[in-house]
Amino acid sequence: MKRIKNFAFPLCAVLLTALLLSACSGYAPGPRQTPPEYFTPSAEAANVRTELAPASENGAKTVVENPFVDTAIQPVSTFSGDVDTASYTMMRKMIDAGYNFRELKATAGRSLRTEEMVNYFDYDCPAPDGALFGVKATVAPNPYNAGTFLMKLTLRAEDAPKTEKNNFVFLIDVSGSMSQSDKLPLLKKAFRTLTAHLTEDDTVSIVTYSGREAVVLDGCPGSSRETVLDAIDSLVARGSTNGEAGLKKAYELAEKHFLPDGNNRIILASDGDLNVGISSEKELEAFVEGKRASGVFLSVLGFGTGNFRDANMEAIADHGNGVYYYIDGDFEAEKVFSADLFKSLYTVAKDVKLQVTFSPERVSAYRLIGYENRLLDEKDFENDTKDAGDLGAGALITVFYELRLAGGSTDSDFARLSLRAKQPDGIRSILEEYAITKDAYTDAPDDDFLFASAVVELSLCLLDSTYKGASSPEHLLSRVSALDLKDDPLKTQFVELVKKLLQA
């Protein structure tokens, strides 16, 4: 990987937020699982378009895959960075509930986002060295579709120490739909893990919403953990879901306690089932977009099944410059609330855009795998008013392209990778470019490449992808079973999940 241009990127961490009200005083408010309903049955992947199909009545969008693009006609591919992982944990929850491959494919397959499955895992990548990101590129034969090749790109953001004060606002859904054991009760347990990381420099506020919004804590010191925990333990699920009132109040408190030189973020915890006030995906996008200029970031934690609204949750996080996690149980709650969430609080790169320009002499056609709802027009890459994804400290983005190689010279570069991002408080993006040279090619890719491509393969099987080639759960299981994964429990767990799919 040859860096073409190098621009210094000073760190200015931005963070996650939650507010806690009521003058830091407690508030006292008065067998096999049912198949999740947040996905619709799979449809045939016949008409492939580079857009999303309409949302289903249950709120889940059907993924319509990116097609192959003729490099001679359009050599440039542009999209927004994304580090959400919700699709993977949704899939894991269903497998753990007993769904076999056929059932999972029929119920959820067309709605799982491939990039969110791949990005659930960590991969080796060099740390940035005076640059925007560390970058690693590998091109190798496609292990599931003979005759094509896969290009894997991994980007790593700068690490940042926790040095700034934090203004957190926890916006918690306590409507009647949150009463199930995998919603509010799990949320309470999860927040206990989170409060252990708070310090006296942190300000915590809590806003709840159901039929009406309520301020539970207002500007409470993070060191007052018992007060925070008492407030959380007092929450009871009941009533309708007026998310609009809750969001407005959360932003009001975040702005009230705003730290000009600190981290300001709202953390929304909900099943996304909004039924009073603004409730559609477009309305939510417009509202959250209108608040971005305030300097308050918004991240989302999804809970539960049944009437879970995946599209709403993703839209809020995407347009609030935040991250979307789905909490499927105690394991994920511990993982997210003890490490992932706090890492994502410290934004080190805002509005991250990627643009890959392929060489027609080396690549005859390419296909971006995943990121269907992150595509940007080519002109958007240099448009600093166009919103894109944000990255927290130490975050990783992994991207796969499927390639058809041209018959020309093997000495030419595969492509040029261009990256744009802003400092957390910046308004102008910084550009960096890398050449993906012939040295990126190998016939013997490392275990990271082989494992990540197996995750892609599973996603394509569940999507019933037009481009799945010889993919099957049995095929990918034979591939990952040959890898040395014992030092990574999450990757080992993936292997066990695939085995469950085949045994159920």
pLDDT per residue as tens digits for the range 132-185: 899 999 999 999 999 999 999 999 998 875 566 889 999 999 988 888 888 899
| pLDDT category of residue 311 using cuts at 50, 70 and 90 | confident
Which residues fall within 8 angstroms of residue 64, CB to CB, at 6 or more apart? 45, 47, 48, 49, 50, 51, 52, 53, 372
Q: Once rounded to an integer, what is the mean pLDDT over residues 179-192?
A: 88
Give the residue, 3 or 301, on which the prediction is more confident.
Answer: 301
Look over the chain and give the mean of its residue pLDDT values, rounded to a whole number: 83
CA gap 132, 423 in Å, rounded: 10
Residues in the chain: 504
For the segment 2-52, what is each residue's pLDDT rounded down to a tens digit? 666 443 333 333 323 333 333 454 433 333 333 333 332 232 222 322 333
CA gap 125, 13 in Å, rounded: 21
Other Cβ atoms less than 10 A from the Cβ of 225: the count is 15
User: Given a cut of 90, is residue 205 above it in pLDDT?
Assistant: yes
| pLDDT category of residue 466 using cuts at 50, 70 and 90 | very high
Residue-level pLDDT at 106: 92
Residue-level pLDDT at 99: 93
Which residues fall within 8 angstroms of residue 160, CB to CB, at 6 or more apart? 11, 13, 346, 348, 393, 394
Instruction: Identify the structural domains of the chain with CATH numbers, from first to last.
Output: 22-28+163-345 (3.40.50.410), 71-159+349-503 (2.60.40.1230)
Report CA-CA distances (Å) from 154 to 196, 224, 398, 446. 32, 40, 4, 13
For the segment 39-91, what is each residue's pLDDT rounded down to a tens digit? 322 322 223 223 333 334 335 567 889 999 999 999 999 999 988 999 999 99
Task: Name the residue among 330, 358, 372 with its Cα closest to residue 440.
Answer: 358
For the segment 313-354, what is each residue's pLDDT rounded down to a tens digit? 777 777 777 788 888 888 888 888 776 666 667 788 989 999
CA gap 2, 135 in Å, rounded: 10
Residues 343, 335 contacting (CB under 8 angstroms): no
Residue-level pLDDT at 263: 84
Model pTM score: 0.83
Give the residue, 166 or 415, on which the prediction is more confident.
Answer: 415
Residue-level pLDDT at 407: 82
Q: Once rounded to an integer, what is the mean pLDDT over residues 103-124?
A: 93
Task: Name the residue among 275, 347, 337, 263 with its Cα closest to residue 303.
Answer: 337
Give the residue, 108 or 362, on which the prediction is more confident.
Answer: 362
Q: Once rounded to an integer, what is the mean pLDDT over residues 376-382?
A: 97
Please compute, for residue 25, the number of CA atoms within 13 A of its CA located in the half-sphere on the CB side. 4
In 309-359, where does DSSP find H-type helix? 310-319, 330-335, 341-345
Report residue 266: phi and psi, to 5°.
-95, 135
User: Given a cut of 50, is residue 490 above it in pLDDT?
Assistant: yes
Residue-level pLDDT at 175: 87
Report residue 47: phi and psi, to 5°.
-90, 105
Task: Name the residue among 326, 289, 278 with its Cα closest to residue 111.
Answer: 326
Are β-strands 202-209 and 297-303 bridged in parallel, bridged antiparallel, or unpaired?
unpaired
Q: Once rounded to an integer, what is the mean pLDDT over residues 484-503?
A: 94
